[in-house]
């Protein structure tokens, strides 16, 4: 089972996935995960790609397209690091995310842990393979 964290920040639902240890779905698979009826449901998806020394992530919109990171994304990443017990290098965190993000209070941030079954994860991974086959 894959674990994800789901945060609601300023009315925006953000799903955070750990992209360090396993294959990640592409654009179509992320879109399936974000779909409110067929998937988990989210407005944005963040894929954590960093380390304790250098926290980083890639942001996607609900359609699975790359997106510029927003303030809410940085708040979600900060909460994710806390929830997962990842203690980043403080100096590196300040440099990458800014002082404001380290001072983020948990008040007003709703959080859920989501369990994604292996079957659904496989379907998300397959979404992009079907598109590649159709193009070839």
Give the pLDDT confidence of 15-39 residue by residue, as tens digits.
999 988 878 899 999 999 999 999 9
pTM, whole model, 2 decimals?
0.80
Residues 59, 14: Cα–Cα separation, whole Å: 10
Domain ranges in the chain? 2-135
Q: What would the DSSP string read from start to end of 60-80?
A: EETTS-B----HHHHHHHHHH
User: Is 135 a residue whose pLDDT tops 50?
Assistant: no
Residues 49, 77: Cα–Cα separation, whole Å: 11
Q: How many other β-carbons are positioned within 10 Å of the β-carbon of residue 30?
A: 26
CATH of domain 2-135: 3.10.310.10
Q: Which long-range contacts (CB under 8 A, 24 or more apart) does 82-86 make?
A: 82/106, 83/5, 83/111, 84/5, 84/18, 86/52, 86/55
């Amino acid at each position: 089972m894959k674990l994800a964290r789901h945060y609601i920040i300023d009315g925006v639902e953000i799903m955070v996935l750990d992209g360090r240890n396993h294959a990640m779905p592409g654009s179509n698979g992320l879109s399936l995960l974000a779909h409110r009826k067929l998937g988990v449901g989210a407005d944005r998806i963040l894929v954590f790609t960093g380390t304790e020394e250098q926290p980083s992530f890639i942001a996607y919109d609900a359609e699975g397209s790359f997106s510029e990171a927003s303030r809410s994304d940085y708040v979600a990443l900060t909460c994710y690091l806390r929830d997962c017990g990842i203690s980043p290098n403080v100096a590196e965190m300040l440099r990458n995310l800014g002082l404001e993000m380290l001072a983020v209070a948990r008040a007003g941030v709703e959080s859920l842990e989501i369990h994604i079954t292996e079957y659904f994860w496989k379907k998300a991974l397959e979404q992009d393979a079907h598109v590649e086959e159709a193009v070839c």
